[in-house]
Amino acid sequence: MTDTAARHAAPTEQTTPPAPSPGSPPAGKTRTARPPWRRSTRSVVRHVGLVLFAILMLYPLLWMVSSSLKPDALIFRETGLIPNAIDWDNYTGGWDALASPFGRYMINSAIVVAGSLVGNLLTCSMAAYAFARLEFRGRKWWFAIMLLTIMLPIHVIIVPQYVMFSQLDLINTFWPLILPKLLATDAFFIFLMVQFFRGIPRELDDAARIDGCGHGRIYAQIMMPLAVPALATTAIFTFIWTWNDFFSQLIFLTRPEMYTVPIALSAFLDSTGESSWGSMFAMSVVSLVPIFLVFLFGQKYLVKGIATTGIK
């Protein structure tokens, strides 16, 4: 074999340039590293902005706490957050300032919240299981109608509800506030749990059905233990919304001994100018303690529940 033939027979090696990785600078250009002082400056500016925004959001709450420790005459005269002298009389006097001790109103709110919690957790989870797992005629249409009820404002349904409960002689009882929760009327929580149940594999249902479980046992023994984050989210939102509800409780509860916390706080205001601002601020701080504790201990379940149900 001649040298020319050997050169033709030898494989030719071609070197191809490596493909640029994503985010790499184009050929011929080199990325210049950012100086460390720029990253530090941006981080400091971002954190200072977040701190200022947090202070802006917390200022009304801090002002209320500060005002609850001032005499009535100094609340609107001294607008600073730090009182010159701490006065606890607003707490001791405000507790017994109304027709009943303020603890009575907190117990009334606790009764309404407890009934609403039981109703929403039980009935909304059952309705959500039906929409997520059962096959029945018109399921999509009923689900769409249920979602449409979210857009109904409370002012639309409060008058028919008042007429109905008045005919049943249930005004000035807690039933008008608890009974709708026992009928799965909170479409938001049904939708939240439906999203969670749809994320649970159907193979678990099939395995349970092979073992002889019906829908009742699948709901109670398979779905409910897995749905703890969604149930905790429902419980936290129900607690906060019911505890702070003012409008519907004002409509159905007119006797002073049946007042709940929001209505009792409004009783400190007087249209003639004799409002007891210090007592109202003090009792407002007291009424925030249950909400703070619920959010403090349920925060991790709330975040997990929102993340797993697609409600973002």
Residue 28 pLDDT: 54
SS (H, E, C) 65-124: HHHCCCCHHHHCCCCCCCCCCCCCHHHHHHHCCCCCCHHHHHHHHHHHHHHHHHHHHHHH
pTM of the model: 0.79
SS3 198: helix
The answer to whether residue 4 scores a pLDDT higher than 70 is no
Residue 26 pLDDT: 57
Backbone φ and ψ for 239, nearest 5 degrees, come out as -60, -50
| Domain 100-310: CATH class, spelled out | mainly alpha
Q: Tens digit of pLDDT for each residue in 183-202?
A: 988 899 999 899 889 888 88
The answer to whether residue 3 scores a pLDDT higher than 50 is no
Average pLDDT, the chain: 84
230, 304 in Cβ contact below 8 A?
Answer: no
Ordered by start, the domain boundaries in the chain are 44-86, 100-310
Q: Tens digit of pLDDT for each residue in 138-165?
A: 889 999 998 898 888 888 889 999 999 9
Q: Tens digit of pLDDT for each residue in 201-244?
A: 888 888 999 988 899 999 999 899 988 888 998 999 999 999 99
Residue 289 pLDDT: 93
93, 279 in Cβ contact below 8 A?
Answer: yes
Residue 290 pLDDT: 93
